[in-house]
Protein backbone atom coordinates (compact mmCIF):
# COMPACT_ATOMS: atom_id res chain seq x y z
CA UNK A 1 0.00 0.00 0.00
CA UNK A 2 1.14 3.54 -0.75
CA UNK A 3 2.43 5.64 2.11
CA UNK A 4 0.04 8.40 1.02
CA UNK A 5 -3.69 8.64 1.45
CA UNK A 6 -3.97 10.76 -1.67
CA UNK A 7 -1.56 11.06 -4.56
CA UNK A 8 -2.29 13.19 -7.58
CA UNK A 9 -0.06 12.90 -10.62
CA UNK A 10 -0.09 15.16 -13.66
CA UNK A 11 -3.71 16.16 -13.22
CA UNK A 12 -5.13 18.14 -16.11
CA UNK A 13 -8.60 19.62 -16.33
CA UNK A 14 -10.02 21.75 -19.11
CA UNK A 15 -13.43 23.23 -19.73
CA UNK A 16 -14.84 23.85 -23.17
CA UNK A 17 -17.13 26.73 -23.87
CA UNK A 18 -18.03 27.16 -27.51
CA UNK A 19 -14.84 26.72 -29.49
CA UNK A 20 -12.64 27.94 -26.62
CA UNK A 21 -10.84 25.61 -24.24
CA UNK A 22 -10.00 26.85 -20.77
CA UNK A 23 -7.16 24.94 -19.13
CA UNK A 24 -7.69 25.19 -15.39
CA UNK A 25 -5.40 22.47 -14.07
CA UNK A 26 -2.29 21.77 -16.04
CA UNK A 27 -0.04 19.26 -14.33
CA UNK A 28 -1.08 19.18 -10.69
CA UNK A 29 1.02 16.90 -8.47
CA UNK A 30 0.28 16.40 -4.78
CA UNK A 31 0.86 13.80 -2.07
CA UNK A 32 -1.05 13.92 1.20
CA UNK A 33 0.23 11.72 4.04
CA UNK A 34 -1.99 10.00 6.60
CA UNK A 35 -3.21 12.50 9.20
CA UNK A 36 -1.75 15.47 7.35
CA UNK A 37 -3.94 18.56 7.01
CA UNK A 38 -3.05 20.49 3.88
CA UNK A 39 -4.39 23.91 2.97
CA UNK A 40 -5.16 24.73 -0.65
CA UNK A 41 -5.14 28.44 -1.40
CA UNK A 42 -5.56 30.39 -4.58
CA UNK A 43 -7.78 33.21 -5.76
CA UNK A 44 -11.31 32.64 -6.92
CA UNK A 45 -11.25 30.94 -10.30
CA UNK A 46 -7.79 29.41 -9.84
CA UNK A 47 -9.16 25.87 -9.91
CA UNK A 48 -9.50 24.84 -6.24
CA UNK A 49 -12.96 23.33 -6.70
CA UNK A 50 -11.89 21.62 -9.92
CA UNK A 51 -8.98 20.04 -8.08
CA UNK A 52 -11.09 18.92 -5.11
CA UNK A 53 -13.81 17.46 -7.31
CA UNK A 54 -11.24 15.47 -9.25
CA UNK A 55 -9.56 14.32 -6.03
CA UNK A 56 -12.97 13.34 -4.64
CA UNK A 57 -13.67 11.24 -7.73
CA UNK A 58 -16.67 13.41 -8.51
CA UNK A 59 -15.41 14.34 -11.95
CA UNK A 60 -13.17 12.82 -14.58
CA UNK A 61 -10.01 14.77 -15.31
CA UNK A 62 -8.73 15.12 -18.89
CA UNK A 63 -5.45 13.50 -17.91
CA UNK A 64 -3.51 12.46 -14.86
CA UNK A 65 -3.93 9.95 -12.09
CA UNK A 66 -5.72 10.05 -8.76
CA UNK A 67 -4.44 7.43 -6.33
CA UNK A 68 -6.43 6.94 -3.13
CA UNK A 69 -4.81 4.76 -0.47
CA UNK A 70 -2.56 3.21 -3.06
CA UNK A 71 -5.39 2.45 -5.48
CA UNK A 72 -5.29 4.12 -8.86
CA UNK A 73 -8.85 5.33 -9.37
CA UNK A 74 -8.31 6.84 -12.82
CA UNK A 75 -9.82 3.99 -14.79
CA UNK A 76 -12.48 2.80 -12.37
CA UNK A 77 -16.11 2.63 -13.41
CA UNK A 78 -18.53 5.13 -11.90
CA UNK A 79 -19.89 2.42 -9.64
CA UNK A 80 -16.40 1.55 -8.36
CA UNK A 81 -15.60 5.22 -7.84
CA UNK A 82 -18.76 5.62 -5.81
CA UNK A 83 -17.71 2.70 -3.65
CA UNK A 84 -14.24 4.19 -3.03
CA UNK A 85 -15.86 7.53 -2.22
CA UNK A 86 -18.31 6.04 0.24
CA UNK A 87 -15.64 4.00 2.03
CA UNK A 88 -12.73 6.39 2.01
CA UNK A 89 -13.60 10.02 1.27
CA UNK A 90 -15.59 12.69 3.09
CA UNK A 91 -16.49 15.93 1.32
CA UNK A 92 -17.53 19.29 2.79
CA UNK A 93 -18.93 21.83 0.36
CA UNK A 94 -18.99 25.60 0.68
CA UNK A 95 -22.77 25.47 0.91
CA UNK A 96 -23.71 22.72 3.32
CA UNK A 97 -26.04 20.71 1.00
CA UNK A 98 -27.81 19.21 4.00
CA UNK A 99 -31.15 17.52 3.42
CA UNK A 100 -33.69 20.14 4.47
CA UNK A 101 -36.42 17.77 5.64
CA UNK A 102 -34.12 15.74 7.89
CA UNK A 103 -32.77 16.54 11.35
CA UNK A 104 -29.07 17.17 11.90
CA UNK A 105 -28.86 13.72 13.47
CA UNK A 106 -30.40 12.01 10.45
CA UNK A 107 -28.27 14.01 8.02
CA UNK A 108 -25.22 12.53 9.75
CA UNK A 109 -26.74 9.07 10.18
CA UNK A 110 -27.92 8.59 6.58
CA UNK A 111 -24.54 8.19 4.86
CA UNK A 112 -23.65 5.57 7.45
CA UNK A 113 -26.83 3.62 6.76
CA UNK A 114 -26.09 3.82 3.03
CA UNK A 115 -22.69 2.33 3.86
CA UNK A 116 -24.40 -0.54 5.69
CA UNK A 117 -24.48 0.48 9.34
CA UNK A 118 -27.66 -0.18 11.34
CA UNK A 119 -29.93 2.77 12.06
CA UNK A 120 -29.22 2.52 15.78
CA UNK A 121 -25.44 2.43 15.41
CA UNK A 122 -25.55 5.19 12.80
CA UNK A 123 -27.58 7.46 15.06
CA UNK A 124 -25.28 6.77 17.99
CA UNK A 125 -22.20 7.72 16.01
CA UNK A 126 -24.01 10.75 14.60
CA UNK A 127 -24.80 11.90 18.13
CA UNK A 128 -21.18 11.43 19.20
CA UNK A 129 -19.87 13.47 16.26
CA UNK A 130 -22.44 16.23 16.72
CA UNK A 131 -21.62 16.40 20.44
CA UNK A 132 -17.92 16.71 19.66
CA UNK A 133 -18.82 19.69 17.49
CA UNK A 134 -20.89 21.26 20.27
CA UNK A 135 -24.21 20.44 18.60
CA UNK A 136 -25.77 17.97 21.03
CA UNK A 137 -28.59 20.41 21.70
CA UNK A 138 -29.23 20.90 17.99
CA UNK A 139 -29.29 17.26 16.96
CA UNK A 140 -33.04 17.17 16.37
CA UNK A 141 -33.24 20.48 14.55
CA UNK A 142 -33.63 20.73 10.81
CA UNK A 143 -31.05 22.73 8.87
CA UNK A 144 -33.36 25.74 8.46
CA UNK A 145 -33.58 26.00 12.25
CA UNK A 146 -29.82 26.36 12.59
CA UNK A 147 -27.32 29.15 11.99
CA UNK A 148 -24.88 29.03 9.09
CA UNK A 149 -22.05 28.02 11.39
CA UNK A 150 -24.12 25.23 12.92
CA UNK A 151 -25.13 23.99 9.49
CA UNK A 152 -21.51 23.80 8.43
CA UNK A 153 -20.64 21.89 11.60
CA UNK A 154 -23.33 19.36 10.71
CA UNK A 155 -21.84 19.12 7.20
CA UNK A 156 -18.44 18.41 8.78
CA UNK A 157 -19.94 15.72 11.01
CA UNK A 158 -21.62 14.20 7.97
CA UNK A 159 -18.37 14.19 5.99
CA UNK A 160 -16.65 12.36 8.85
CA UNK A 161 -19.57 10.01 9.54
CA UNK A 162 -18.14 7.01 7.76
CA UNK A 163 -14.68 7.51 9.28
CA UNK A 164 -13.07 8.42 5.95
CA UNK A 165 -9.32 8.31 5.53
CA UNK A 166 -9.46 11.45 3.41
CA UNK A 167 -11.43 14.61 4.05
CA UNK A 168 -11.85 17.11 1.22
CA UNK A 169 -13.29 20.51 2.08
CA UNK A 170 -14.10 23.17 -0.50
CA UNK A 171 -14.08 26.57 1.22
CA UNK A 172 -16.05 25.08 4.11
CA UNK A 173 -16.26 28.42 5.88
CA UNK A 174 -16.57 30.57 2.77
CA UNK A 175 -20.15 31.63 3.46
CA UNK A 176 -19.62 32.51 7.14
CA UNK A 177 -18.69 35.73 8.89
CA UNK A 178 -15.04 35.93 10.03
CA UNK A 179 -15.58 35.02 13.70
CA UNK A 180 -17.87 32.07 12.91
CA UNK A 181 -15.55 31.07 10.13
CA UNK A 182 -12.59 30.84 12.50
CA UNK A 183 -14.59 28.84 15.05
CA UNK A 184 -15.92 26.36 12.49
CA UNK A 185 -12.49 26.03 10.98
CA UNK A 186 -11.02 25.20 14.40
CA UNK A 187 -13.74 22.55 14.82
CA UNK A 188 -12.89 21.04 11.48
CA UNK A 189 -9.19 21.04 12.18
CA UNK A 190 -9.52 19.56 15.69
CA UNK A 191 -11.95 16.85 14.71
CA UNK A 192 -9.96 15.89 11.62
CA UNK A 193 -6.87 15.68 13.81
CA UNK A 194 -8.59 13.57 16.45
CA UNK A 195 -10.00 11.22 13.85
CA UNK A 196 -6.58 10.96 12.22
CA UNK A 197 -7.85 11.75 8.73
CA UNK A 198 -5.78 13.30 6.00
CA UNK A 199 -7.39 16.49 4.77
CA UNK A 200 -7.16 18.87 1.85
CA UNK A 201 -8.94 22.11 2.70
CA UNK A 202 -9.46 24.86 0.14
CA UNK A 203 -9.76 28.36 1.48
CA UNK A 204 -9.04 31.83 0.28
CA UNK A 205 -8.69 32.95 3.87
CA UNK A 206 -4.93 33.12 4.46
CA UNK A 207 -5.40 33.61 8.20
CA UNK A 208 -7.08 30.21 8.36
CA UNK A 209 -4.59 28.63 6.01
CA UNK A 210 -1.66 29.42 8.26
CA UNK A 211 -2.98 26.98 10.87
CA UNK A 212 -2.60 24.04 8.49
CA UNK A 213 0.26 21.56 8.61
CA UNK A 214 1.27 22.66 5.12
CA UNK A 215 -0.15 24.94 2.48
CA UNK A 216 -0.02 24.70 -1.29
CA UNK A 217 -1.15 27.32 -3.72
CA UNK A 218 -2.66 26.96 -7.18
CA UNK A 219 -0.93 29.09 -9.70
CA UNK A 220 -1.18 28.90 -13.48
CA UNK A 221 -2.73 25.46 -13.28
CA UNK A 222 -0.24 23.78 -11.00
CA UNK A 223 0.64 23.64 -7.31
CA UNK A 224 3.45 25.45 -5.62
CA UNK A 225 4.47 25.47 -1.98
CA UNK A 226 3.00 28.49 -0.31
CA UNK A 227 5.50 31.30 0.25
CA UNK A 228 5.46 32.87 3.71
CA UNK A 229 5.52 36.33 2.10
CA UNK A 230 2.00 35.59 0.94
CA UNK A 231 1.02 36.28 4.54
CA UNK A 232 1.43 39.95 3.78
CA UNK A 233 -1.52 39.89 1.40
CA UNK A 234 -4.54 41.69 2.80
CA UNK A 235 -6.83 39.37 4.78
CA UNK A 236 -9.91 38.10 3.00
CA UNK A 237 -8.46 38.13 -0.49
- How near is the Cβ of 235 to ligand ADP at its closest, in Å? 18
CB of 40 closer than 8 Å to CB of 53 = no
- How near is the Cβ of 85 to Mg ion at its closest, in Å? 19
Which positions touch Mg ion (CB under 5 A)?
Answer: 48-49
- How near is the Cβ of 3 to Mg ion at its closest, in Å? 29
In sequence order, what are the residues at sequence separation of 6 or more whose Cβ sits closer than 8 angstroms to the Cβ of residue 146?
Answer: 104, 138, 154
- How near is the Cβ of 136 to ligand ADP at its closest, in Å? 33
Residue 33: burial class (beta carbons within 10 Å; 0-12, 13-18, 19+): middle
Residue count at the site for ligand ADP (CB under 6 A)? 12
Question: For ligand ADP, which residue of 5, 6, 11, 24 counts as binding (CB under 6 A)?
Answer: 24
CB of 222 closer than 8 Å to CB of 50 = no
Which 34-63 positions form the footprint of ligand ADP (CB under 6 A)?
A: 42, 44-50
The angle that helices 148-159 and 119-132 make with each other, rounded to 10 degrees, is 130
Closest to ligand ADP by CB, 54 or 155: 54
Q: What is the 8-class DSSP label of residue 178?
A: H
**Residues in touch with ligand ADP (CB under 6 A):** 15, 17, 22, 24, 42, 44-50
Amino acid sequence: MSEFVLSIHGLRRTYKSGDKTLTVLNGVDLDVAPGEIVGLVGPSGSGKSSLLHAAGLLEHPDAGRIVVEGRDCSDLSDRQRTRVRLATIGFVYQAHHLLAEFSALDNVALPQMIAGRSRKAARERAMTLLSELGLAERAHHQPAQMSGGEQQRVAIARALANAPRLLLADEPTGNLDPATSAAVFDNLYDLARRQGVAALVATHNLELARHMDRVVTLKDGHLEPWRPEALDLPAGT
